[in-house]
Amino acid sequence: MRKSVLGGVAFTALVVAGAIAAATTGGLPNIGQPKMTAQPVYKGYYDHHIDTYLITDTSNKAQSAALHVNYSAALGTVKHLPDQYFVKGRAAAGQVTIFGSEPGETDYNPLWEEIWVTWKTGVKPVVLYSDNEINALAAKGKLTKKDAHIVLNAPILKVG
């Protein structure tokens, strides 16, 4: 019995020491061991290179059900977010989402305002690689941008 108590004290001391070490090195105490899951990851363009991201939450119930992610009405109240562009309808082969920012940029945030991009009739879609291209083509009347009023929690996991 005495060994068990001493073992418990030693274990508690190790846990406390681990928590202190984690706190002083920027880690999180009591986080446990990571567990690998089958969370789908996606690809998106930012300034002509590919970033990898995942979607964990959305402010739209239908989108939440379709993507099998969390629904959070509160996300829809967050303002002044970077844009994430999705081409709706006709799109060039190989088109993926386009980010308006990425980690390392001053305006990066894992929350995104969902913007729908639609090519105008008679305009041949091309692959869009950056928000600057989207804005330039919109100014020329070749495509339209529409705020979907949906906020996504979609952190970028890997840049480039």
Both 27 and 73 in one domain: the answer is no
Q: Tokens representing 122?
A: 């008679």
Both 57 and 135 in one domain: the answer is yes
**pLDDT tens digits along 120-140:** 999 999 999 999 999 999 999
Both 2 and 72 in one domain: the answer is no
Structural domain boundaries enclosing 14? 1-34
Both 28 and 82 in one domain: the answer is no
Both 118 and 131 in one domain: the answer is yes
Both 9 and 82 in one domain: the answer is no
pLDDT of residue 32: 73
CA distance 141 to 122: 11
What total number of domains does the chain contain? 2
pTM of the model: 0.79
Q: Is the pLDDT of residue 11 over 50?
A: no
Predicted confidence band at 9 (pLDDT cuts at 50, 70, 90)? Answer: very low
Both 14 and 88 in one domain: the answer is no
